[in-house]
Amino acid sequence: MAKPLHDYSIAEAGALLRKGTITSTALTEHALDRIKMIDPLISSFITLTRERALADAATADADFAKGIDKGPMQGIPHALKDIYATAGVRTTCHSKLLVDNVPAEDSVVAAKFKAQGAVLLGKLATHEFALGGPSFDLPFPPARNPWNPDHIPSGSSSGSGAAVAAGLVRMAMGSDTGGSIRGPAGYCGTIGLKPTYGLVSRRGVFPLSYTLDHCGPLSWTVEDSAIAMEVIAGFDPQDPGSADVPVPDFHCKLGAGVHGLRLGLPRRWFVKADGVSAETIAAIDDAAQTLARLGATIEEIELPDYELFIACGRVIMFSEAFAIHEKDLQTRPLDYGLFTYLRMSMGAFVTAVDLTQAMRLRRELALAVNAQLKSCDALITASTLAPATPFSDVNPNNPPTFPVQAMPFNVTGNPAMSIPTGFSKSGLPLSMQIVGRAFDEPTVLGIGAAYEAATNLYLRRPHFGVAKAA
């Protein structure tokens, strides 16, 4: 082959599968071998479904041989954050409370991938219940950053970000309540798309916050996220938050470029933020200049204070998380990791007045963001504010806060995608965020694809010093 199998995107691998140049079994065996060699260094997988994966691959190969084509994920290995229910495969939420939990039914997302003939490699590490981490007092170790395993991969979709960056999978599913897709994407140098609220069903995904939770993909290329969205998007009448709207054509703007687009840049948000690095600011400014050279108009804009979005989102998230976990927090508190328990317990102190005011403020903040998007086609802003934090900086007695500016678009529900902008002097990824109008993922993906093509940052992979894995 012209390059290692793990470097072929979903689109590239799919074309080769349909030509008969490669088989799904070969892709899957290569992935399993790579996981065996590399995952001990980064702990991205909790459960490896080797037999299931080989069986899925054999079925896909047989279907291709019969001329049966179920869609772009057919025969493609993937993995799921371990909060997605999988029939017959344990779903632990990285927690002692569910360490032996084996669901009887698939989540909607898992079922959609299965129906299209995708190959399930396994379940990926997360922060406990998508909130508490990175922790060493849980049944499984925390995932590590492939660019430097001494550093965290952010969270809570930590295993998803690490596995994609390491080339173990082309695409992995994550969830995002306050940045849990975009944070790992930013720290690990991948694409991470939080779709519009309600565009992807969350049924069968263990909830953290009913009104803030989003499901979305992390991938190595923008096009691969578009392919994943093509499979998983759609109305689900059994998900109360699902939106009954037409599913967009996620590919329609991938080659359209950015010429003539107006992009808003809320620069004051991140240049004055606590924890922001000079390298992050310079990388975003350079990205804005790149987009301008490609034909976009960049306009500095003002949004409400970032702290308002954070306060609003946290009040809602902690109150809803506590409501979900109240019984177990009261009867099994010692079965939670310390970070999870401390974070969840904050919800017990949120009053009805607090929650009412947060819900009112949420509407005002959404109106302010969408007012800017009436004159701008999209916004570009920070995703992560600095390179990945080392594990040594995490206080084992105090839940860490990560410099990630993602919560605003959980509050508003707008689609938002993290995309790499380069690397720090220490060799760790830097990133920015592209934010669009509700249900306008095609524009977000199109801007990302244009920037990706102009920079070719996806050509650089973490190096593990393992000759067979390269």
In a domain, 1, yes or no: no
User: Which class for 300: exposed (0-12), middle (13-18), buried (19 or more C-beta within 10 A)?
Assistant: exposed
Task: Give me the residue label for tokens 């071998």.
Answer: 33
How do residues 430-455 score in pLDDT, each as one tens digit?
999 999 999 999 999 999 999 999 99
User: Smallest Cα–Cα separation from 177: which of 344, 59, 8?
Assistant: 344
pLDDT band at 64 (very low <50, low <70, confident <90, very high): very high
The whole-number pLDDT of residue 1 equals 53
Read off the pLDDT of each residue in 356-378 and give the average, rounded to a whole number: 98
The neighbouring-strand residues paired with 300 are: 265
User: Is there a catalytic annotation at residue 424?
Assistant: no
**What is the phi/psi pair of residue 192, to 5°?**
-140, 115
User: Is there a catalytic annotation at residue 112?
Assistant: no
User: Is residue 400 over pLDDT 90?
Assistant: no
Handedness of CA 51, 136, 193, 238 (dihedral sign): positive
Angle at 359 between CA 401 and CA 192, to 5 degrees: 45
Select which of 180, 225, 418, 431 is catalytic.
180
User: Is residue 14 over pLDDT 80?
Assistant: yes
In a domain, 2, yes or no: no
In a domain, 433, yes or no: yes
* Amino acid letter, residue 308: L
User: Is there a catalytic annotation at residue 180?
Assistant: yes
pLDDT band at 470 (very low <50, low <70, confident <90, very high): very low
The CATH number of residue 352's host domain is 3.90.1300.10
In a domain, 424, yes or no: yes
Q: Which domain holds residue 125?
A: 8-469
Q: How far apart are CA 14 and CA 32, in angstroms?
A: 18
Read off the pLDDT of each residue in 330-337 and give the average, rounded to a whole number: 97
Q: Where are the beta strands (DSSP E) in 198-333?
A: 214-219, 262-265, 297-300
**What is the phi/psi pair of residue 419, to 5°?**
-140, 140
User: Is residue 30 over pLDDT 60?
Assistant: yes
Q: What percent of the chain has pLDDT over 70?
A: 99
Read off the pLDDT of each residue in 75-98 and give the average, rounded to a whole number: 98
Q: What is the average pLDDT value for the chain, to the nearest integer?
A: 97
In a domain, 47, yes or no: yes
In a domain, 83, yes or no: yes
Select which of 9, 24, 44, 81 is catalytic.
81
Q: What percent of the chain has pLDDT over 90?
A: 96
Q: How far apart are CA 244 and CA 247, in angstroms?
A: 9
Judged by phi (left if over 0) then psi (alpha if -120 to 50, else beta), residue 143 lies in beta
Select which of 156, 157, 219, 431 is catalytic.
156
User: Is residue 468 over pLDDT 60?
Assistant: no
In a domain, 414, yes or no: yes
In a domain, 352, yes or no: yes
How do residues 239-253 score in pLDDT, each as one tens digit?
999 999 999 999 999
Contact indicator for 48, 121 with CB cutoff of 8 Å: yes
Strand-strand pairing, 171-176 and 77-81: parallel
Number of domains in the chain: 1
**Longest CA–CA separation in the chain, Å:** 62
The whole-number pLDDT of residue 158 equals 98
